[in-house]
Chains A and B, each alone.
Chain A
Amino acid sequence: MKLILSIFFFLLFLHNSNAQFIQSGRAIYSFTHIKDTLSPANRYTEDMALFFNMKQSSYFSYTKFYGDSILQARFKIVETGGKISEEEFKEAVKFKMTTPENLYFNFEEGKFLFTHPWIGETIAIENKAYIIKWQLQDSTKTIEGLICFKAVCCFKGRNYEVWYCPEIPTKAGPWKLNGLPGLIIQAKDQSGSISFTLKSLNYSKEILSLINPPTLVRQVSQEQFNKLKMGLLQNPQAYINAAVSGSSVSNSNDKVEVRKTDASAPKPKSRVNNPIELNND
């Protein structure tokens, strides 16, 4: 009898623990960007994920995350003696240009940092969180069954028009757009070059680990990071030479050089003439 009772209480306890309330949400956005205004038909698209709870949010490339996790899962299948189809394999190893940065906002502490891969390492760049001056407008519209309100702002040199949903009470939003009293469902800039559109939204009863910034990364200031990045752009040849030669596995002292013959050629022109951030305001 005791046993039955204890099992009963145990089950009750289990049931109780299942009745936990929602802790965090996961939104997937489709991000589009016309990087080169000379070829507007060539629109860059990428799926981006936003993980959020009341206190913090993280924003990163879902395409990359999805690709990496597929790859890992497929590796696991094969490593444990299983088999995957050719299509599955191809899907897993497909190479895709993705956004390298992950953005992390801590609303409570007013902190914002982003991580960036850097020659085989990941570094975290710490920034001050900023407050976007939103102007709330009276228009409403229903998107995907969500009642949304309109707000506008001027941010980093662009005028954004966004639709947010107060029913989902979070400050979070895609990319660096946040601070509204509801999740941002849709955002686009006035010129039509940039847009974020919600594709899917669901919740979890756990605090998703991906919300937290990685712990084992080195932190630098934005200034230091800009310096590193500029350094790379100024003379990439020399930079790569430094990287390749120093970490060379060969024990002989043969000269290791990268594309020396091409040092003479002019630097290729970047085809991004329309960056997301037009200024630093």
Chain B
Amino acid sequence: MSKNIFLFILITILCSCFYSQKLFAQYQLKGIVTSAKKEPLSNASVRIIPIHQKKIVSYTFTNKNGVFTLELNKQPLDSLEIEISCIGYQSKKTHLKSLSFDDIRIELETTINKLPEVRVKSNPVIEKKDTLSYTIKPFTQATDAVIGDVLKRIPGIEVTESGVIKFQGRAINRYYIEGLNLLDDKYNVANRNIPATSVEKVQILENHQPIKILDSVSFSNQAALNLILTDKARGRIIGRLKLGAGISPLLLDCEINPMKFNKNTQFISSYKYNNTGINYSDELTLLNSSNISSRFVSNTTDNPLLSIPSANIPRTNTQRFLFNNSHTLTFNQLYKSKNDVNIKTNFDFIIDKQNQNNSNMNTIYFPNDTIQFKESQALNLEKILSRFFFTVEKNTKNYFFLNAFKIQYLKNRNFGQQNTTLNTTQSFHNNHISFLNNGNFINKKGSTLIMGNYQVSYSNMPQSLSILPGIYDSIFNFGNVYDELLQKLKIKTFYAGAELGLSRRFNNISFQNTISANFTNQNFTSNLLKLYSGKYDSVSYNFNNQIDIHQYFITNTFSLFYKMRNAKVSLSVPIAYIDQKYQYTIKDTSNKRLFYNYNLSVQIPFTSRISTYLSSSLSTYYISPYFSTYNTILSNYRMLQNNAGIFNTNKSFTNSLLINYKDALKIIFASIGITQEKFTQPFIYNNLFIGNLSIMEALLFNNTNSSWNVGGRISKYFISLKTSLVLGLSYKRTENFQMNKNILSISNVNSLNINSTISSKIGSMIIDHSLQYQRILSGINQTLAPSFLLNQTISNSIVFSEFSFIKINVEQSYFKRPGATERNFFFIDLSFKRKLKNKKIDIEANWLNILNTNNFETLSFSANNRIQSFYVLRPAQAMLKVAFNF
């Protein structure tokens, strides 16, 4: 019995197990979803839903063949539905119970019923709060003093050594502070003086067209930069005070730069003094050359014709050789009126005194002999520059007007002791005053734009060179010893010009036509005087010049720009007519000529990795008319120059081809290029030597000099080594005609350049190595002798913390010229920067020229002339600088 009961229970349990398995078992559903045309539908959603409930129990999607499988756990079957849906088809819902689990076949009908839409409530455009701006905090290092230090580090921005700011390789066209253009091209003043802590944001305005009326007409590919200041910096005087002192001798480096920025008025000023070899005056350099006014021939640039010979500026850190004592002062103010008129005044003042002790060994090759002489000089150079700009500008959507008035005074006083076979004391004076008024206006009338530019300028440039005692008695004073030789000259120039332009686009082609006309009146006089027995006398009639020049110049420039896919072609053809009238003391001459130039450039990207750039240009230009003097001028103590009244037309013809390659994945970038240039002048100087005195007489001659340049560069970044390597190779060949003592010859300078840069990072140390190697063959009529030059620099920076770092710099300069032993120079510099934690005080210490290298030599080549220059250097110097931000 008990046996039976046991068996019964067992059977019951087993049965109930089986039953329950049937009730809550795990089911596998399998099926296929097709369209009405029996096409399988993939990725249709298959959902299991409890009837009358908003809930999804399980889901899956159909595969490529429209097949789905779905497992269901312990679900009461009768309460479930299966729903299939697919975009473009009507959804279908069925009871699960009615289906056979392993062969569910569902057909969906197409539908044009709309799916639920959602309308945009707010405009999906860009909120303004984070447009185009970089918050500078992430890029700021504690050791950064001024905004320029930070800018260098912002992605896409590059600051060149001279201070030009580039965004993605192109120079910016405006530097705004709080939206106002206070400094124009002098933006270095802001960049090197505004404390980094006072700036909140840097905005990059891409494709910025600074003239608002042109916004809709011409697109600019340049960017502008705008500084947004912190609230604390607005409306109060801010700035920096820096005090630095060192040895030896007593060295000082000080600056103070108060500034204030309000909504409608701004000013920035700066005073700097140093005698440590830093050239602060480059802060006042005008950086943009893209301004409208620069398209005019400017006759106000400084152009001294007389000089005291001196060694070229060596290519090394200026702090090694510059013995200076310089003050720079700048004051800039802007006022913006209610009707959008900006009134600006900018004032600069520089007093710069320099001492130079250097000498040159000149070697001049002739077909039959070689002249070699050495001259050494102790020079005191003094420069005073004062400059005042007054600008009125109205820049609105419908109207643009700008008028700028500039006045500049430049005074140079140079004194030199020149020791050669002749020992002389020389002095050079230059007083250059210039006025310039330029302006432009653009007005909209209906759909046409009327654009115009104008410029009026006047400049007076008297110069004199005095040589004591009198030299070359036989040439200048009939063999009698005399006291002084004095060359005086004066150039007065008046210039007026205007320009009108029109432009139009048709689909891929755009045309532009510009007409400009200008008038120049130039007055040139020169006298060579001698002081003999207590009175000044003209040396001879042949050394006096007096020219009065009237020149009319009309140019029509037609430009065409064509763009198709990625290829670009641009062509511009200026046709010019020049009419020159020269009144010399003895006769009048005139020159009328119609000529054309062209400039063609083609850019073709073949693939995303290879692009080519081809350009060809012909340019004919007349250099300032006063070069066409009839009689002789003493340009320096060893050179007499006579231009024989030849009209100085220069013609240059250039062709170049460049191929760029990049593989961004392998991080290899390469470029190769070839350039050919021909330069033609209508004359050649016949160089006659009397002792060291070279007498240059211009002779009519079709003087064509040519040069070839082939070069390539490859760079690669090695990921595993955290190192980049740049390798460049170039070869340049130049050929020049020379005429010495009536004999024509050809001088050659062929140079092979190899340079490399390695930049690597090891731990917290950054190591940079750069090397330049040059092999130069120079000589005359293919008799060439080789020289070798090598420069290399290793710099090693160690970053201790956010607040301090140390940098060591080692530099080597080496050269070897024919017939001389090799020359080798070494320098080591050390610098340290630290910011105190309250962030108001910066400390900087440096020790330059630790090895106390006290002289330096360089080698340079030009045509048939090789110059070896010798310099006396600044001794080792140690400086400590403290700057306070207020």
Which chain A residues have a beta carbon within 8 Å of chain B's beta carbons?
Answer: 19-25, 27-28, 44-45, 47, 53-55, 62-63, 66-67, 75, 78-81, 83-86, 88-91, 93-97, 107-108, 118-121, 123, 136, 138, 140, 144-147, 149, 165-171, 180-182, 198-203, 216, 218, 220, 224, 227-228, 230-231, 234-235, 237-239, 241-243, 245-249, 251-253, 255-266, 268-271
**Contact A96 B131, beta carbon cutoff 8 Å:** yes
**Contact B86 A181, beta carbon cutoff 8 Å:** no
Give chain A residues whose Cβ lies under 8 Å from the Cβ of B807.
264
Report how far A167 CA is from B397 CA in the complex, Å.
51
Q: A231-B717, A265-B143, A265-B799 are in contact. Are A271 and B770 (CB under 8 A)?
A: no
**Contact B55 A138, beta carbon cutoff 8 Å:** yes
8 nearest interchain CB pairs? A246-B669, A231-B719, A264-B797, A246-B715, A95-B132, A238-B724, A169-B85, A242-B724
Q: A234-B719, A246-B726, A251-B673 are in contact. Are A79 and B124 (CB under 8 A)?
A: no
Give chain A residues whose Cβ lies under 8 Å from the Cβ of B761.
234-235, 238
Interface centre among A62, A119, A123, A265 (most CB of B within 10 A): A265
Which chain B residues have a beta carbon within 8 Å of chain A's beta carbons?
Answer: 41-47, 54-57, 59, 61, 64, 83, 85-89, 91, 110-112, 114-122, 124-127, 130-132, 137-141, 143-144, 149, 152-153, 158-159, 204-209, 212, 215-217, 219, 397, 447, 504-508, 510, 608-609, 613, 656, 658, 660, 662, 664-665, 667-671, 673-675, 709, 711, 713-717, 719, 722-726, 728-730, 753, 755, 757, 759-761, 764, 766, 768, 770, 772, 795, 797, 799, 801-802, 805, 807
Task: Tell me the smallest distance from the CB of A142 to a CB of chain B, in Å.
Answer: 11
Q: A93-B207, A247-B671 are in contact. Are A268 and B713 (CB under 8 A)?
A: no
**Of A81, A86, A118, which is within 8 A of B212 by CB?**
A86
Residue of B nearest to A231 (CB): B719
Give chain B residues whose Cβ lies under 8 Å from the Cβ of A199.
118, 120-122, 124
**Contact A93 B206, beta carbon cutoff 8 Å:** yes
Report how far A27 CA is from B120 CA in the complex, Å.
10
**Of B47, B126, B760, which is within 8 A of A166 by CB?**
B47
Report how far A54 CA is from B755 CA in the complex, Å.
57
**Of B116, B125, B674, B723, which is within 8 A of A168 by CB?**
B116
Q: A83-B217, A94-B126, A95-B206 are in contact. Are A201 and B118 (CB under 8 A)?
A: yes
Report how far A234 CA is from B722 CA in the complex, Å.
6
Extra contacts, 16 of them, besides A21-B110, A166-B83 (Cβ < 8 A), are A25-B87, A55-B43, A63-B124, A91-B126, A118-B664, A169-B45, A181-B59, A201-B116, A203-B117, A234-B719, A235-B722, A242-B725, A252-B709, A253-B730, A259-B158, A259-B159
**Of A79, A95, A241, which is within 8 A of B507 by CB?**
A79
Give chain A residues whose Cβ lies under 8 Å from the Cβ of B127.
45
Report how far A245 CA is from B717 CA in the complex, Å.
11
**Contact B118 A144, beta carbon cutoff 8 Å:** yes
Give chain A residues whose Cβ lies under 8 Å from the Cβ of B508.
79
Give chain B residues whose Cβ lies under 8 Å from the Cβ of A81.
504-506
Task: Tell me the smallest distance from the CB of A13 to a CB of chain B, in Å.
Answer: 16
Residue of A nearest to B563 (CB): A79
**Contact B45 A245, beta carbon cutoff 8 Å:** no
Q: A147-B54, A246-B713, A263-B797 are in contact. Are A238 and B723 (CB under 8 A)?
A: yes
Contact sample, A vs B, 10 pairs, CB 8 Å cutoff: A83-B217, A83-B447, A121-B608, A169-B87, A181-B56, A181-B59, A238-B723, A242-B726, A247-B669, A253-B711
**Contact A169 B86, beta carbon cutoff 8 Å:** yes
**Contact B216 A83, beta carbon cutoff 8 Å:** yes
**Of A231, A245, A262, which is within 8 A of B667 by CB?**
A231
Give chain B residues whose Cβ lies under 8 Å from the Cβ of A269.
138, 802
**Contact B45 A181, beta carbon cutoff 8 Å:** yes
Give chain B residues whose Cβ lies under 8 Å from the Cβ of A171.
43, 45, 61
Report how far A22 CA is from B147 CA in the complex, Å.
56
Task: Tell me the smallest distance from the CB of A235 to a CB of chain B, in Å.
Answer: 4
Task: Tell me the smallest distance from the CB of B203 to a CB of chain A, in Å.
Answer: 8
Give chain B residues whose Cβ lies under 8 Å from the Cβ of A235.
722-724, 759-761, 766
Report how far A246 CA is from B667 CA in the complex, Å.
10
Residue of A nearest to B758 (CB): A238
Task: Tell me the smallest distance from the CB of A80 to a CB of chain B, in Å.
Answer: 6
Report how far A22 CA is from B116 CA in the complex, Å.
12
Report how far A84 CA is from B218 CA in the complex, Å.
11
Q: A81-B506, A108-B43, A149-B56 are in contact. Are A242 and B132 (CB under 8 A)?
A: no
Give chain B residues whose Cβ lies under 8 Å from the Cβ of A227.
719
Report how far A281 CA is from B729 CA in the complex, Å.
49
Task: Tell me the smallest distance from the CB of B85 to a CB of chain A, in Å.
Answer: 4
**Contact A86 B216, beta carbon cutoff 8 Å:** yes
Residue of B nearest to A89 (CB): B215
Report how far A230 CA is from B720 CA in the complex, Å.
9
**Contact B116 A145, beta carbon cutoff 8 Å:** yes
Report how far A20 CA is from B668 CA in the complex, Å.
50
**Contact A238 B717, beta carbon cutoff 8 Å:** yes
**Of B118, B137, B760, which is within 8 A of A146 by CB?**
B118
Q: A181-B56, A230-B719 are in contact. Are A241 and B132 (CB under 8 A)?
A: no
Residue of A nearest to B729 (CB): A253
**Contact A239 B664, beta carbon cutoff 8 Å:** no
**Of B658, B664, B797, which is within 8 A of A121 by CB?**
B664
Give chain A residues whose Cβ lies under 8 Å from the Cβ of B212.
86
Task: Tell me the smallest distance from the CB of A255 to a CB of chain B, in Å.
Answer: 6
Give chain A residues whose Cβ lies under 8 Å from the Cβ of B138.
268-271
**Of B64, B658, B667, B715, which is within 8 A of A108 by CB?**
B64
Q: A83-B216, A91-B125 are in contact. Are A246 and B671 (CB under 8 A)?
A: yes
Give chain B residues whose Cβ lies under 8 Å from the Cβ of A85.
216
Give chain A residues whose Cβ lies under 8 Å from the Cβ of B59.
136, 180-181
Q: A181-B61, A264-B807 are in contact. Are A253 and B713 (CB under 8 A)?
A: yes
Residue of B nearest to A180 (CB): B59
Task: Tell me the smallest distance from the CB of A231 to a CB of chain B, in Å.
Answer: 3
Give chain B residues whose Cβ lies under 8 Å from the Cβ of A166.
45, 47, 56, 83, 85
**Contact A89 B216, beta carbon cutoff 8 Å:** yes
Report how far A259 CA is from B161 CA in the complex, Å.
9
Residue of A nearest to B398 (CB): A86
**Contact A255 B766, beta carbon cutoff 8 Å:** no
Report how far A264 CA is from B673 CA in the complex, Å.
33
Report how far A118 CA is from B59 CA in the complex, Å.
40
**Contact A96 B130, beta carbon cutoff 8 Å:** yes
Q: A235-B759, A238-B759 are in contact. Are A255 and B54 (CB under 8 A)?
A: no
Give chain B residues whose Cβ lies under 8 Å from the Cβ of A239.
667, 717, 724
Report how far A149 CA is from B47 CA in the complex, Å.
13
Give chain B residues whose Cβ lies under 8 Å from the Cβ of A95.
131-132, 204-206
Report how far A23 CA is from B115 CA in the complex, Å.
11
Q: A108-B43, A199-B121 are in contact. Are A120 and B86 (CB under 8 A)?
A: no
Report how far A180 CA is from B613 CA in the complex, Å.
52
**Contact B730 A251, beta carbon cutoff 8 Å:** yes
Give chain B residues whose Cβ lies under 8 Å from the Cβ of A123.
664-665
Give chain B residues whose Cβ lies under 8 Å from the Cβ of A248.
671, 713
Give chain B residues whose Cβ lies under 8 Å from the Cβ of A165.
116
Task: Tell me the smallest distance from the CB of A274 to a CB of chain B, in Å.
Answer: 15
**Contact A251 B719, beta carbon cutoff 8 Å:** no
Q: A121-B664, A145-B118 are in contact. Are A251 and B124 (CB under 8 A)?
A: no
Report how far A153 CA is from B795 CA in the complex, Å.
52
**Contact B143 A245, beta carbon cutoff 8 Å:** no
